[in-house]
Amino acid sequence: MFESCRNAPFFLRQPRRLMALVCVVASVGLTACSSGLIYKPEVVQGNFVSREQVQSLRAGMPRQAVRDVLGTPLVTSVFHADRWDYAFTIRRQGAEPQQRRFSVFFKNDALERIEGDPLPTEAEFAAKLDNRRPPSKLPELKATEADLAKFPAKLTPAGVAQPVAPAVPVSYPPLENAAR
């Protein structure tokens, strides 16, 4: 029995070292979780409705025309058959979450009124999604005559193509066998 203990690794022979090792590994793991090193996926839920879409709605439009403009509503209720709710939420790492709610009300299957949060235009929404750094200032790509004079001049006149002759004449084998 004592023979197997001698062959065991050093940290298994002393329980205190084993416990210390377990505590260190656990604390490093927990620290990594809380420091934001874990990937958080982008979460998009619902239908994005833009200001341009809402501006194209008119009172008296039939339900199908409203559905064609806004898409399928996120929430339809049996108890509120004349109300469609559109909700949109997006959560991205490194950006503030966006949440919008919008409701469409019908009377006799025709659009009566709309209610909801102020909606962004498509351009405003796209600008909020792009959280990359703006590009740094690009260098000017113009050369002056003095800059161009530093390069050697071409030996051939401009616009004249020089034919290139092959160094060794090329001969190809015949396509068909001549000894038929």
Q: Which tokens belong to 86?
A: 């559109």
Cβ atoms within 10 A of the Cβ of 84, count?
A: 23
The pLDDT score that the predictor gives to residue 28 is 75
Domain boundaries, given as residue ranges, for the chain:
2-34, 43-129
pLDDT at residue number 111: 93
pTM for the model stands at 0.50
Q: pLDDT value at position 17?
A: 74
Distance CA 75, CA 45 (A): 12
Question: Can you say whether the dihedral through the CA atoms of 83, 84, 90, 96 is positive or negative?
Answer: negative
How many Å is the Cα radius of gyration of the chain?
36
3-state secondary structure 54-90: HHCCCCCCEHHHHHHHHCCCCEECCCCCCEEEEEEEE
Residues 6+ apart with CB under 8 A from 148: none
Residue-level pLDDT at 154: 66
Closest CA to 117 of 105, 101, 106, 104: 101
CB 105 within 8 A of CB 115: yes
Residues in the chain with pLDDT < 70? 1-13, 31-37, 130-135, 154-167, 178-180
* CATH domain 43-129 topology: Beta-lactamase Inhibitory Protein; Chain:B, domain 1 (3.30.1450)
Query: At residue 44, what are phi and psi to the nearest 5 degrees?
Result: -120, 125
